[in-house]
Chain A
């Protein structure tokens, strides 16, 4: 993991034809097959095969056009272009693109489905709190901190480092 400050992840271009892995996201390539449980603390793009369970609770999961997931999937936001067979839970939103195939039950606050998409299952719309702001990708600690001791001799809370001065 890099200790250099990372720039803010740019939003991916999620048109119906292509997607790109964003900076700060992990990718499971199309020749990769994983059987087991996946827990991710960053955005995740799945273009291979996954069997088991996939969780990225504060992050985004994209099942790409070649992605084939036979698993329960949980994330803040989920976009499906490939296939999922399993229950899907998104704290914020599920986006099912026209070439997608989803068989399983959905639990989410919002659902967007393109014409032509295949979906078989139940839909449970959660009318709850607004989604939390996305957690930052694993942030690096600043190399140095400007600090001063207070009268009690305790360190104050971390002071943001001005990127221009790095």
Chain B
């Protein structure tokens, strides 16, 4: 992963976020996990809709897998265990909702499987997850982004790093990742971002 020199703070409409926020209401006062790293926008928005836990997923990944090849290091079991202690170290069935954003896109298969399994464990039955996957099959590098919630339908993307994608995530590939979950719902967007709501 490399630091990004490009910035894009353009707001964009997110139908996936809109559905996610609407569905949050069925949980009363939900326990929400946000993997984007703490930012003022998400704190202000989410803390009024439930009890928010903020996690520094990308920071944990760069800490655990740096030194050498970032992607090859993700096959190292001891590094995977280190990563899982830095991020996603929560008791089982802790959350009603998880904002995964694009965190899964930069994970090698072994780590991806471990992380999805952790997400399953720490989510309660019926919990929702919002995930983004870039849909540009030809892209050689992709931004690793912090997503900021401006309102229930609008996000702002702030690229932090760039990274090469580990694979292209077709709809079928996404469904396979979440095969142990109850349902996977896709939202079409005009740009190259595939929005997915997963229900545990």
Question: What is A's interface to B at a CB cutoff of 8 Å?
Answer: 96, 111-115, 117-125
Most buried by A among B38, B40, B47: B38
- Report the Cα distance A120→B33, complex, angstroms: 10
Most buried by A among B39, B47, B54, B59: B54
Closest to B59 in A: A118
Q: Contacts A113-B38, A117-B38 given: A123-B55 contact, CB under 8 Å?
A: no
Shortest Cβ distance from residue B41 to the other chain A in the assembled complex, whole angstroms: 10
Interface residues contributed by chain B, number (CB under 8 Å):
15
Closest to B60 in A: A120
The answer to whether B51 touches A123, judged by C-beta atoms less than 8 angstroms apart, is yes
CB contact list, B57-91 vs A, under 8 A: 59, 87
Contacts of A96 in B (CB 8 A): 38
Contacts of A119 in B (CB 8 A): 37-38, 54, 56
The answer to whether B53 touches A115, judged by C-beta atoms less than 8 angstroms apart, is no
Interface of A is mostly: strand
Given contacts A113-B38, A121-B53, 16 further A-B contacts (CB under 8 A): A96-B38, A113-B43, A115-B39, A118-B37, A119-B37, A119-B38, A119-B54, A121-B54, A122-B51, A122-B53, A123-B51, A123-B52, A123-B53, A123-B54, A124-B51, A125-B48
CB contact list, B1-46 vs A, under 8 A: 37-40, 43
Contacts of A121 in B (CB 8 A): 53-54
Question: What is B's interface to A at a CB cutoff of 8 Å?
Answer: 37-40, 43, 47-48, 51-56, 59, 87
- Report the Cα distance A118→B51, complex, angstroms: 19
- Report the Cα distance A117→B54, complex, angstroms: 12
- Report the Cα distance A106→B106, complex, angstroms: 30
- Report the Cα distance A96→B56, complex, angstroms: 15
- Report the Cα distance A120→B56, complex, angstroms: 6
Contacts of B43 in A (CB 8 A): 111, 113, 123
Contacts of A122 in B (CB 8 A): 51-54
- Report the Cα distance A119→B40, complex, angstroms: 11
Shortest Cβ distance from residue B49 to the other chain A in the assembled complex, whole angstroms: 11
Contacts of B37 in A (CB 8 A): 118-119
Q: Contacts A113-B38, A113-B40, A117-B38 given: A125-B47 contact, CB under 8 Å?
A: yes
Contacts of A111 in B (CB 8 A): 43, 47
Contacts of A114 in B (CB 8 A): 40
Closest to A127 in B: B48
Can you list the 7 inter-chain pairs with the closest CB atoms, starting with the nearest? Answer: A119-B38, A122-B53, A125-B47, A123-B52, A123-B47, A120-B56, A113-B40
Contacts of A120 in B (CB 8 A): 38, 54-56, 87
Closest to B33 in A: A122
- Report the Cα distance A112→B152, complex, angstroms: 21
- Report the Cα distance A115→B38, complex, angstroms: 8
Shortest Cβ distance from residue A46 to the other chain B in the assembled complex, whole angstroms: 21
- Report the Cα distance A156→B54, complex, angstroms: 55
Shortest Cβ distance from residue A112 to the other chain B in the assembled complex, whole angstroms: 7
Shortest Cβ distance from residue A124 to the other chain B in the assembled complex, whole angstroms: 6
Closest to B86 in A: A120
